[in-house]
Amino acid sequence: MDAGQPDSFHGRVIAVRGTVVDVRFDAQVPPLEAALHCEVEDTRRVTAIIHSHLGGGEVRAICLDSARGLRRGAPVFSDGAPLRVPVGPELLGRVIDLRGEPLDAGPSLQGLRRTSIHRPPPGPSQQRQGGEFYATGIKAIDLFSPLVHGGRAAVFGGAGVGKTLVLTEFIRNAVEHLRGVAVFAGIGERSREGLELWEEMKRRGVLERTAMVFGQMKEPPGARFLVGLAALAVAEDFRDEQGRDVLFVVDNLYRHVQAGMEVSGLLGRMPSRAGYQPTLAADLAALEERITATRRGDMLSLQAIYVPADDYSDPAITHAFWHMDSVLVLSRDIAAAGYYPAVDPLASSSKALDPGVVGQRHYDVAEEARRVLGRYEELRDIISMLGIEELAPEDRTLVGRARRLRNFLTQPFHVTEVFTGQPGRSVPVADTVAGVEALLSGRGDALPEEHLFMIGTLEEARTHG
């Protein structure tokens, strides 16, 4: 609650069930989504968000803090406003939580302008069509899943296949050349992951252009469910009020879904398919539909999405797919073979892989690369059983090119330099397309396969040794 804000609503806690509280108000009842402030014996305040009106002056709310110490009869105050997060350029270089409290031991952010975390998506007249190609410097993304300004992109993958590494490298490459600002939403982040990202941004000298909003794994599900909306409110303010271009990064969207599932269970809702909340589609749409470019500023989003048990038919994954313009799928088999980033080019896709966006040459090269890699997958069982010598000559040639291409699409990342000792590479799109085109046409057939592994441009392989 902002200092000096009058309290229009007064009530008492009448029930506490985990992080769900029921409150009876003396007279008027605050509206849905209003923030409540419950007094605890040790002078600590617990913030809760109204979910439903029960009748008779009673409301049910979800706590954003631990309810430990909260008891029946505790006084409750509210100004009737929804939860608000501080916004503005003062957040650049800072790490905050859902309520705008610093997590970086920096100065307080009290007194800053605040905005509600809930707001409708921009209307059709306010939205601006994207379409301009956005280069990431990561070969596999730029070739098979190109991003566009104003678009939503996702990195799908199971546990341990490198989603966060791809996201961190993307942030590093993007922020170095970014005309605007970056906003990072850490949903259900482990404390270690958040610290590593913060230190990496600081080490790269790009923290001063980045605002970070974290809802850590240890926090109640209500806080984890809303932290994505809070970070998005910060990003929207940069876009709409300050006219800045915004890079909005989310890690991990699946934890947003998990938190919503936990909140739904606490409220006693009957689950739907696979145990998910019945409002799964609406919960995702409430976040995703706000991520768009407007006439005031650009917004590009990249989101990591965990795939439970590597099951891409999972309802949460299929619902998330619907909202994305570019999809990058990371494969466990490819990661196990040691190819990083572990991009599956046959499963990845993008609406931007169109001659009108990336150009005819880029489109043709990407499609031919997919054809060659797809044919190689078909031949792998035959090779493992009978040996490559049993293949027709043209298939043996294709296999050699596919292997060289697969090696060439690996890439050392800047963010892993401290672990591998190998300098990172950021590759221009033109060099990526030219290199793949040369390998597909046979101009790289004389190059040893190992010389193409973990390099940047094809020229590095030609000058190897």
The maximal CA–CA distance of the chain, rounded, in angstroms, is 85
Rounded CA separation 9/245 (Å): 39
How buried is residue 383: exposed, middle or buried, by Cβ count under 10 Å (0-12/13-18/19+)?
Answer: middle
Q: How far apart, in Å, are the Cα atoms of 376 and each of 138, 334, 348, 397?
A: 23, 14, 17, 10
Distance of CA 239 to the CA centre of its chain: 18
Q: Which of 156, 45, 143 is nearest to 433 (CA)?
A: 143
Angle value at C-alpha 369, between 366 and 375, nearest 5 degrees: 140
CB neighbour burial string for 191-219, b if at least 16 within 10 angstroms, e if fewer = eebbeebbebbeebebbebbbbbbbbeeb
Which residues are tagged catalytic? 163, 189-190
Extract the tokens encoding 179: 């005309």
Rounded CA separation 344/335 (Å): 10
Please give the full DSSP string across 322-383, using - where no structure is assigned.
HH-SEEEEB-HHHHHTT-SS-B-TTT-EETT-SHHHH-HHHHHHHHHHHHHHHHHHHHHHHH
CB neighbour burial string for 426-465, b if at least 16 within 10 angstroms, e if fewer = bbebebbbbbbbbbbeeebeebeeebbbbbbbbebbeeee
Rounded CA separation 59/388 (Å): 70
Contact 217, 190 (CB under 8 A): yes
Extract the tokens encoding 423: 């300098």
Rounded CA separation 323/223 (Å): 23
**Residue 51 burial (CB count, 10 A):** 16
CA 194, 343, 169, 187 dihedral sign is negative
Q: Kindly report each contact of residues 49-55 with a partner whose C-beta sits within 8 Å and lies 24 or more positions away, as own/partner.
A: 49/82, 49/83, 49/222, 49/226, 51/267, 52/267, 53/29, 54/22
Residue reference for tokens 């505790």: 74
